Structure 1
Amino acid sequence: MKLSIAFVILLAFQGHGHAQAWKKIESIKLNNPANQVSIDRQGNLYVSTLNGSIDKYNASGSLQSHYSPSKRSTPQLIEAWQGLRVFAFYKDFQEYSFFDRFLSSSERYAINNQKIVSYASLATVAADNNIWVLDAQGFTLKKVDVNNNEVISETNLSLVLSKKRYEFSFLREYQNLLFINDKNNGVLVFDNLGNYLETLPLFNLDFFSFKDSSLISIQNGNLVYFDIYTKQKKEVSLPDPSYTFVLMENKRVFLFSKTTLDIFELN
């Protein structure tokens, strides 16, 4: 009885009549403290660190590949949802790179090599294999054709944001939509041409990911689901409030602290 209580915790959705069970599958001590995380379509996990190394784990938590950079730099963002390649953006060097599934790196590319971007504060890969860039100096969102080094679309963000204060921390393309996290204004949503659509009322986030139609995040010790279409919000208390990142694949939930990856099933 004590063993089952230790590994299965019943938690209820706020405002809903059914309960869900957290069942811990595995706990893995990370080789290096997690600074950014991502997941591909096969459920493989990618963890980057402050010194620029990237580790790939499978869905069971086994280490598959390791990348150690030739020059020390911290990835501002990593993105693995394309599956066959992993994108990394290095803000300090204003460069980006692609890795294959074995974490073999391509050369790094300058993000402002044709002066099409003044200073990139964030960048991520798009579904059409181009890249989205937040140009901090021009205060614009740009989609950049990486083959021709030209801007495909450009959106003036001063026409979108109602508050003068802004703090962009993360962006991700999902289901032909681009989501940009602004801690002060919420999560801004754009279409795949860079046209502003709406702002989701989710504030003070550092990171988010997706599961089906839900944007998922961690807030105040809770796992938060926000349906991007119906706008319904659900919260589940986490087994430990110290987790900083959450990723999901099917019924598995991957929760990261700085030094640990805990794998749960949520039923």
Structure 2
Amino acid sequence: MESLMAKTSISILLKLRLTLFILIICQLTSFAQDWKRLESIKLNNPAHQISIDRQGNIYVSSLNGAIDKYDSNGELQAHYSPTKKSTPRIIEAWQGLRVFAFYKDFQEYSFFNRFLGESERYTFGNQQVTSNLSLSTIATDNNIWALDGQQLSLKKIDINSNEAISETNLNLILKNNTHDFTYIREYQNLVFISDSKNGILVFDNIGNYLETLPLFNISFFSFKDSSLISIQNGKVIYFDIYTKQKKEVSLPDPSYTFVLMENKRVFLFKKETLDIFELN
């Protein structure tokens, strides 16, 4: 009798687990397919780097140095055509009133207003502070984060004096002897640096190393609420920077290369197109 009851209990438990598994799969499949496309726009110039400001305006830079600004509906708002041909390695627009651009080939950076009017370009002229910058971005306090690929150090540069405010040596942090730094961004008083070999390095807002997120081979990432967002293998990867929970959602088209999110809108990029979706 006890044996029969045990078998019945096991059978019920297995059925419950199977039902739960099916429900989870159904929910994931439904979420993966719930893409409502609002617009499809042919870009003014092919996308090389992208960014988004707090109002949902999109900024797209191309290999020839041109920068285009689109509103959240995909309407072209402004265009910048450079007089000095160079490719922005990074553009960053989260401040809203101005856009930061880093030019690796000339070791320079520039600011643009919301109409894409350019200020003069600034050089990292202090060779004792910087030698060969791989990445650079704007900090929340309006100074500059600079990743020195030659000295393997992260520095915060005073925008007025061009002197280093803080410096963190990366030699003891990188577990892999090889490295490939691809992107840098400050978000919620944390600095994130993607290294395709080692993962995403996380620092506080004065450059102290905190941890490494197990996310590899990522060339670009953005944020939505507490999630770091990237594209890999035809999927959008959500990684919560606090709970460390990871979620994957299949893309409507695996050929997308960039993703940005603002409110319920998802902006997906191919080289020459921007598709705007609403994700319910």
CA gap of 1:15–1:146, structure 2 versus 1, over 3 A, is farther
Alignment correspondent of 1:145: 158
Quick one: distance in 2 between partners of 1:74 and 1:13?
48
More helix by share: 2
Q: Is the 8 Å Cα contact of residues 124 and 162 (structure 2) preserved in structure 1?
A: no
| Contact 1:80/1:86 (8 A) holds in 2 | yes
* Greater share of residues in strand: 1
Query: Are 2:157 and 1:157 equivalent residues in the alignment?
Result: no
Q: Which runs of 5+ in 1 are unaligned?
A: 1-11
**C-alpha contact 2:107 2:124 (8 A) present in aligned 1:** yes
Q: Alpha-carbon deviation of 1:115? A: 3.6
Q: TM-score, normalised by structure 2?
A: 0.89
Give the residue type in structure 1 aligned to 2:39: E
**Over aligned residues, Cα RMSD in angstroms?**
1.5
The reply on whether 1:171 has 2:172 as its aligned counterpart is no
| Distance in structure 2 (CA, Å) of the matches to 1:169 and 1:13 | 38
Matches within 5 A, 1:32-71: 32-71=45-84
Within 1, Cα distance between the matches of 2:140 and 2:26? 35
Task: Please name the residue that 2:219 is paired with.
Answer: 206
Gaps of 5+ in 2: 1-21
Check whether the contact 1:13–1:235 (CA below 8 A) recurs between aligned residues: no
Q: CA deviation at 1:116?
A: 1.5
Computing the radius of gyration from Cα coordinates, the structure with the larger value is: 2
**After the TM superposition, which of the residue ranges 145-154 and 206-215 deviates more from structure 2?**
145-154
1:120 aligns with 2:130: no
Structure 2 distance, partners of 1:36, 1:15, is: 35
Determine if contact 1:112/1:119 at 8 Å carries over to the other structure: no
Question: Relative to 1, partners in 2 of residues 1:123 and 1:14: Cα closer, same or farther, differing over 3 Å?
Answer: farther
Over residues 212-263 of structure 1, what are the superposed CA-to-partner deviations in whole Å (9 max), with x where a residue is unaligned?
Answer: 0000000100011000000000111001011110000011000000000000
The number of equivalent residue pairs is 256
Aligned equivalent of 1:129: 142
Q: Percentage identity across aligned positions?
A: 71
Q: Which residue of the partner structure matches residue 255 of structure 1?
A: 268
Residue 109 of structure 2 aligns to a residue whose secondary structure is strand
| CA displacement at 1:137 relative to structure 2 | 1.7
- State the partner residue of 1:8: none
Distance 2:255 2:126 in 1: 40
Q: 1:170 to 1:16 in 2, by over 3 A?
A: farther
Secondary structure of the 1:202 match is coil
